[in-house]
Structure 1
Amino acid sequence: MKILETKIDKKFVKDLTILLIGVGLYILSVRLFVLPNLLASNGIAGFSVFFNFVFQINPALTFFVINIPLFFFGWRLLSQRELLLSLPGAAAMSIWMLIFEAMGISGFQFDHLIYAGICDGILSGIGAGLVVISEGTFGGSLLLSRILEDQWNFTIDRVLFAIDIVVMVLSLLTYLALPHFAVTLLSCFIFSKVTRFVGRADYRQKTLDKLKLNFLRN
């Protein structure tokens, strides 16, 4: 069977499963660490959190609306397989938000805020990295970064971090306190690096080789 000239085989189903798990981990991180500690989330999810705090708009709705022009932009630039995987990925973002909300997952408040930022950066980065492995996206900043990576050779971590800075500045000007801004900046940096480490085998091997070399030197 084919959809948009993309063969729906075992590999496609496997990639779709990995994508959905990755999206779930990404959104879980928002629920566990971002919202209860009043941090700004990364990427388009960060815009959703921003609108939630400032205008009390459901993050799932915001994410859906923002993704519409991004998908129109990506339609001509990405492969049909990438887009076919990105559609359920973007839908899963809103669905996971609603599922975790219905489950009553309220997350953890840390006495030391930096722990929330570190945990968010690692967990959300693992989730986004799995999405990259699936060769799909969940829309938003990851979709935009894939377009820039494919078309103009931007590295995925730099694009993600640049978008995060825009989100954080908006948050800082509205609701985000300066200490939370600093912790979110750390979280976004960790997120961008973990995403690339998990999602890109060449970068992962290069990083591990450097760590091994430094270990042997010491």
Structure 2
Amino acid sequence: MSQPKWIIIIKNMIPVTLGTALYAFGLHYFVISNELMEGGVTGIALLINYSVHIPPSITTLALNIPLFFLGWRTLGRHSMLYTLWGTLSLSFFLWVMETLISHEWIIPFTSDHDYLLAALYAGVTLGSGLGLVFRFGATTGGTDIIAQLGNRWRGWSVGQVILVFDAAVILVALFYLPQEKVLYSLISIFISTRMIDFITQGAYAAKAFTIITDKFQLITETITTEMDRGVTLFPARGAFSKETKEVIYCIVSRSEVRTLKLIIHRIDPSAFIIISDVNDVLGEGFRIEKHSK
């Protein structure tokens, strides 16, 4: 039975809220306390905070308001609804962290000489928070809106716009912060992007086998009986030889890679095999994920 649309929206907003809370925690607990940097609009807010001491909860919201209205008019109401929630939620939790720290109810992690730990944990917490936000269809505004507007108006690549904008903010930070802190910040940003990919693309990874062999029928039967894995056959024709044959496609878990290799080698040592990475595998024999319609 399908659920009302408002229930689905609320279910998506809960992890988005948790993600912004985690991001706000990491930003204050690891980044700001050690005067490290971030990219994008958050990085601009940090530079303003370091120079004139205006709290990020105010500047992030102020910087995102004009971008939000541009995005609302151009990108549509539905796609901007979660962005609005993510932006407001982030500003709220930034304010909560500022309040807790000012009353000394939370003591941020600081280091006087080695900022590696701060950079590592900042990357993990910030990336995990943003990964939750992105996985459920929201953003925290900022460069994400700019990138989408650039793609809509100019046809620019979203990833390239974000990369250029983040790089520009980091370069400006070199004029305000010690070089070593900027370099540590790059470590944090790198780990953050990896965590975002890990969460949005799925923690479960598998391997896809594409097998070209004359003994496709025997290999298919062996995979089905010995490994209990499904197999798909694709018709193919060689460009040079003009010969037609069946191409085997099969997805297995990482622990089954060696077993499948041994089966193929045992039956047809001359088989041509392509092994590629697969992320977030859903379906029978792997992970089952239920979605409300």
Smaller-chain TM-score bracket: 0.7 to 0.9
**Contact conserved, 1:40 with 1:181, CA < 8 A, in 2?**
yes
Distance 1:20 1:164, change over 3 A: same
> Is 1:117 matched with 2:119?
yes
Preserved CA contact (<8 Å) 1:39 1:180: yes
**Separation in 2 of the partners of 1:124 and 1:69?**
24
Change (3 A) 1:29 1:75: same
Please identify which structure carries the higher helix content. Answer: 1
Partner deviation per Cα, 1:142-196 (whole Å, 9 max, x = no partner):
333455678858465x55443322221111112x111111111111122223223
Runs (5+) with no aligned partner, structure 1:
1-6
Q: Which has the higher contact order (CA 8 A, sep 6+)?
A: 1
Taking the TM superposition and a 5 Å limit, the aligned residue runs for 1:138-217 are 138-145=140-147, 152=155, 154=157, 156=159, 159-174=161-176, 176-201=177-202, 209=207, 212=254
Partner of 2:89: 92
Change (3 A) 1:124 1:114: same
Asked whether the 8 Å contact 1:19–1:136 carries over to 2, the reply is yes
1:108 aligned partner: 109
Report whether the alignment pairs 1:23 with 2:24. Answer: no
SS in 1 for 2:33: coil
The percentage of counterpart residues that share the same residue type is 25
Give the match's secondary structure for 1:39: coil
Q: 5+ unaligned residues in a row in structure 2: which ranges?
A: 209-253, 262-293
TM-score by length of 1: 0.80
Answer whether contact 1:42 1:167 (CA < 8 A) is retained. yes
- Partner letter of residue 10 of structure 2? V
Cα distance in 1 between the residues matched to 2:148 and 2:194: 15
Query: Relative to 1, partners in 2 of residues 1:29 and 1:72: Cα closer, same or farther, differing over 3 Å?
Result: same
Change (3 A) 1:64 1:99: same
Give 1 or 2: higher strand fraction. Answer: 2
Matched, 1:73 2:70: yes
Q: 1:185 to 1:173 in 2, by over 3 A?
A: same
